[in-house]
Amino acid sequence: MSRRTRRARAAASLAAAASVVTALIPLTAVFSPNWFAAALVAAVAVPAVGAAGRLVHNGLAILAQVAVGFAIAWWRFPGGLAGGLLPWDGAWALPGVLATARDEVLTGVVPVAVGAPLDFLLVCATALLAVVVDQLAVAARLPLVATLPLVAVFVAPQLAVPRGDDLLLALPFALALLALFATGSAPRRRRARGGRGSAMPAATIGVAIVSALATLAIAPAVPILPAGQQGLVTRPLSIDVSLDLGDDLRNTSSAEVLRVRTDAAQAPYLRLATHTGYGDDGWQVDAGASSPIAEGFPELSTNGVVGEVESRSTSTWVSDVQLEAAYLPVPENAVALEGASDGWNAMLDNRTVRSSELSSRGEAYRVDATTLAPTREQLDASPWAEAGLDAQAGNTIQVDPATGEVVTEDIPMYAAAVPDEVSGGVIGDTARSVTQGAGTPYRAALQLQEWLRSSEFSYSLETPVEDGFDGSDAQAVERFLDVREGYCVHFASTYALMARSLGIPTRVAVGYLPGTMTGDRVDDMVQYSVAADRLHAWPEVYLVGIGWMPFDPTPGIAQAQSVVRGDTAEQTAAPEPSEAPSASAEPSATPSARASNPATADDGSGDSGADAGGVLLTLGVAALVILLLCAPAAWRRILAGSRRRAADAGDIGAAWRELVAVALDAGLDPSPAESPRALGARLVAAGAGRDDVGAVVDAVERAAFAPAPPGPRALADPLRAIARALRPEDAVARFGRSLLPRSLWTRPRLVRAPSDR
């Protein structure tokens, strides 16, 4: 194998490794990235040993790659070799490891936590992909076929994490494919009579360019799986509205869920569903009566027990919904919804919107809502509620206001129902201890909120899993009260059960925290972006004479929801805890970077840590793309400088190779039958200086034919002058030539340079 062929094969192996690595990068959005370093080793090692094996014999390459693949599998396998990776004496752990890895993929939520079994599967799959690509593109010289598995791997994450165009990731992948086409299809040359040295066929170049452009379009064009359909993984934008939110909340995706604008003073919490029923298995999603959304919701009114409650009408516009759910996100106290598809139903008891046939994805609509603004005096005047004596009498509760008058209100009776073991156990005892001396339901509700938001509790997504209480039933709540670490589901469920044990009706809502400002204004209203990591759960309290009011006991949220909406400063927000929530919690232990930032969580203004991280990531990827774009030009400059220095030191072969490279970059195709003098004549005709070309050609001829080798001659300056003279005058053409120098991809068969003999 000639040195030229060895170089071509090595370049093809390098391109194969680059194409595998760039194809894998989008998968880091689907799987936590702890597996990627090992996969990178596999993607580089397999083509490298293949290239080394071909130096000895072509057949040795595949054997070396299989051996390295087995070594990598042994390295990443979570167990021993005999009886583990390989069957031995009836024992074989490999099938169980693969089954566990499959379950991690199918049941995980993006980004899927990669344990040892899934790490093993991903790294081994990378090694196998590298073997296939290297054998197809380098050994079989079928780069077009090799791109098929690469493109499949690259676009697969779009089935799980639709993030938009992904051009920053598609561009380096497209460049790697172009390099794979260029290096993988050119080694076989043909010698035509009087013809030119064979370069990469024009058809292959065309296919490479078309494939690269197609790659840029594939990522955004891949269709998204319908709601409920199983794909590669459970998709982050398809959530479970039950209170089993652990996996969804551990999704740190910043993918946009929707955009919202409102004529209210601030962006609202958006509810998807509520949970009022409570049983042995914890909280249940509300069902109940419904009607077509076109008929709207019942009128929102109060019974006058605390006097006339001030209310304001607001409108909220929701658009660009990327959420796959059977619910539409709506603000509290919705009264009408317009613009959504036919088939959505208004849930009359809880003022949410759902459908058994439609998905929220792609919907755009307006929600009119009534915002209640009771005064502090009215909140304090709300009396205690007691369940009606006759459970069959209907959805009513009996009220004993300060006047002694009995009033009934239409709310579900089970909103105050709680098992005896809850009210008479640890949960009830703790609630009574915390709210001792509260006097009114509202003050008790505030004291519960303040206590849970105090420094005695901290936010953690991992502790409930590690300690085995990741749920919302009474046992999980009791364990949470002991450990005092959990996430929003635990805080909301604990709050709701503690309040019920005091006789205060409660329910738990699931939805999204207010979004962050986009900087855009639509119809003179600020537009907010709500990301997937804003998913949240919070309790709502029923205050007699007022209605359902939201609270938020989860620490790490900048402020609890405003439950007092009077006009005075004293009445505009719920009192903050006397002690600030723990400031020592790690960022990973908060609902999201935006949710935990006291400066931004409620009003959505400013930049969050997650936004800053996204900016840095974008800048990093942009820098990588720029480096990849500049790499061919930089490598060409390095080669040119090295050859010129060698030429000045007496290496005439280096001078000849640089002269040929300059001709190729200028669009001249040297012929295998062409002498150095003939090539020099064409260079002069193209604009190069006669003296400069003559100096190089004369040195080459003397080195080839003189009886004694010539002494060192200064050829760097003539070579530099020739390259400068052949540069295009047009700046665009000059930039295009330097971006992808032809001399890096095309190597014609010529008369050997003197140093090659």
pLDDT in tens, 122-140: 999 999 999 999 988 888 8
**Mean of the pLDDT values across residues 391-418?**
55
**What residues have CB less than 8 Å from 60, skipping those under 6 apart?**
53, 54
Structure tokens at 458: 């901290």
pLDDT digits (tens, 9 = 90+) for 69-127: 999 999 999 888 887 888 887 788 888 888 888 877 765 555 677 888 889 999 999 99
Show the CA angle centred on residue 608, arms to residues 607 and 610, nearest 5°.
125
pLDDT in tens, 635-653: 888 888 888 888 888 888 8
Rounded CA separation 443/318 (Å):
34
Asked if pLDDT for residue 590 goes beyond 50, the answer is no
Closest CA to 451 of 402, 495, 417, 416: 495
Is the torsion defined by CA of 88, 94, 96, 97 positive or negative? Answer: positive
Q: Determine which of 37-46, 62-71, 711-720 has the lowest per-residue pLDDT on average.
A: 711-720
Is the per-residue pLDDT at 441 higher than 60? yes
Contact 334/353 with Cβ under 8 angstroms? Answer: yes
Question: Cα–Cα distance between 591 and 461 in angstroms, integer?
Answer: 8
Q: Note the pLDDT of residue 68.
A: 92
Query: In this structure, are residues 662 and 671 in contact, taking their beta carbons and an 8 Å threshold?
Result: no
Beta-bridge partners for 539? 508
List pLDDT tens digits, range 174-202: 888 888 887 865 444 443 333 344 444 44
> How many CB atoms within 10 Å of residue 624?
16
Those residues whose C-beta lies under 8 Å from the C-beta of residue 609, and which sit 6 or more positions away, are 587, 593, 594, 597
pLDDT at 468 exceeding the cut of 60: yes
pTM of the model: 0.50
